[in-house]
Amino acid sequence: MALVPLPLEKLLRQLGRLPGLGPRSAQRVALSLLQRPEKLGELQKSLAEVAAQLAICGRCGNLAFNHNAPPLCEVCSDTSRDSSVLCVVEGVADLWALERSGVFDGGYHVLGGVVSALSGVGPEDVRIPQLVRRVKDEGVSEVILALGASVDGQTTGHIILERLAGLGVNVTSLAKGMPVGAAVDYMDEGTLSLALQGRQKVA
C-alpha cells in the first residue's frame, strides 16, 4: 500500500517546484493545509480568483488585474506618474520592492528575466525589444537600470545600453555599494569594490 495517496503525491511534486520550496517544505505546507480543510478551501478560492482575473500589463509587463484592452496595471494607469522616466527591472518582485520605498514616481519596464548564455536565454527572450520600442514611441528621456549585480544582470544591462545607443535617452543605473547601517568589516570584497568605485565627493 502506498504511504502517500496519488493526488497528494502530485500536489507535493507541484509545490516542490515552487521557488523557495523543496520536498520537505512542500510536505509541511501540504500537511498544514490538509489538517485545516477550511484554509485549503480559502486557498483554492483565492487561486481560482487570481487565475480568472490575472493579466500581464500590455505596456510594462507588470501584473494587472483588470480587463482593459490591452490590460494596464495600476502604475501605468496612474496619470500622475512621470512617464518620461522608466525603471527597468528583472521581475515583478523587484518592481514591488521599489514601490515600497516610496521614492520613485516614474514608470517601469519588467523584462521578465535576464539574458543568460548558460540557460539559453537571449535578448529576444526577455522584453528588451519592447523596451526599445517604448523609448522610441513614448518620449522617454531616462532609463534607469535596476538589475542585479550578477554576471547575467550586468550582461543584460550592457545589451540594453547598446540597444538604446543613438536614441537620445539618458541611461543610468542604481548606485551599488554599502547598505545603510552596514559596518565595513562585515562587507564582502565585491560590495566594497563597488562602494569604492561609486564613491561621491563630500567636501
- Give 72-130 pLDDT, tens digit per residue: 999 999 999 999 999 999 999 999 999 998 889 999 999 999 999 889 999 999 999 99
Angle 65-101-156 from CA coordinates, rounded to 5°: 75
SS3 202: coil
Residues of the chain with pLDDT under 50: 1, 203
Distance CA(50)–CA(67), nearest Å, equals 13
The reported pLDDT for the residue numbered 134 is 96
pLDDT number for residue 202: 58
Which residue matches cell numbers 544591462?
157
CATH number for the segment(s) 81-173: 3.40.1360.10
Structural domain boundaries in the chain: 81-173
Q: Rounded to an integer, what distance in angstroms lies between the CA atom of residue 113 and that of residue 127?
A: 8
**496595471: which residue's cell?**
73
The model's pTM = 0.81
Quick check: helix, strand or coil at residue 170?
strand
